[in-house]
Chain A
Amino acid sequence: MNSEIELKLLKEIEELKRKVHLLEGQDDHQIPTYQYRKIRDAELKKLFEIKQKLDKQIFEQWFNNPIEIEHSVEVFLNDLIAENESLVEYYHEEDLKIYLITPLLNKIKFLNREKEIRGFYELSMSYVTDQFILMVRLILSYPKA
């Protein structure tokens, strides 16, 4: 092969390799970026030390709350079950969001204009350090007070 063409091809190969490395987050000059939906357990555990604890006591105060619900809410909840119980096993993720989760969250109503609070759907947030960037998408969140 002609040496000029060979040299040109080698340069193109190097440039392509560099672009692939960049896309895979392997560029030496770039901080790796991870998306929470795609990150593997092993990778996450390299970034954070995180362990499950089996203690259920921590839920006591949360679950044993003295909240009373109104009759209208009881009716709503019974209707929600009646409309969905025979179909839920066939629901895809989006069906579940539309038919079960969203009606429940809307009934709770996290919106409060006076306090400037609302729920967010699929809000993108990123956590940046000098070692890595982690992107997450939140289903429900609220602005920092």
Chain B
Amino acid sequence: MELNDWKFIKGAYITGSHWHFVILEKLERHKYQYFISQNFDSTKIEDLTAIYKNLLFVKNEIFAMVEA
């Protein structure tokens, strides 16, 4: 974010079968706040479907950003 001057970046961390999505927001140089989502259990079909859709959303966002 410091290199590309983005304000938000999306990510995830995974512990075993459990996923949490994260948004990091840049407030100013070297100053950030971050948000952590609820847990998604990748062994449950509803949650895994949501994980898949959330990742696909990020992909679409990236492709749209590059096209713009």
Contact = CB atoms under 8 A, between A and B. Distances in A.
A is bound by B: yes
Interface of A: 47-56, 58-59, 62-63, 65, 67, 69, 73-74, 77-78, 80-81, 84-85, 88-89, 91, 96, 100-101, 104-105, 107-110, 112, 115-117, 125, 127, 142, 144-145
Interface residues of B, number: 41
A80 B58 CA distance: 21
Given A62-B57, A85-B43, A56 B50 contact: no
For the residues of A in contact with B, the DSSP-based class is mixed
A96 B49 contact: no
Contact of A47 (B4, B30, B42): B30
B66 A105 contact: no
Given A51-B33, A62-B57, A91-B16, A69 B49 contact: yes
Contacts of A56: 35, 37-38
B32 A127 contact: no
A127 B26 CA distance: 15
Contacts of B23: 58-59, 62
B43 A53 contact: no
Nearest to A68: B53
Given A52-B36, A58-B35, A107-B52, 6 more contacts: A56-B35, A65-B57, A81-B45, A101-B14, A116-B66, A142-B66
Contact of A100 (B17, B21, B25, B32): B17
Interface string B55-68: 11111101101110
Nearest to A97: B14
Contact of B52 (A53, A84, A108): A108
B7 interface: no
Contacts of A51: 32-34
Given A69-B53, A100-B17, A110 B38 contact: no
Contacts of B53: 65, 67, 69
Sort A-B residue pairs by CB-CB distance and give the 10 closest, nearest first: A85-B43, A49-B31, A50-B32, A88-B17, A65-B57, A67-B53, A145-B66, A48-B30, A108-B55, A115-B66
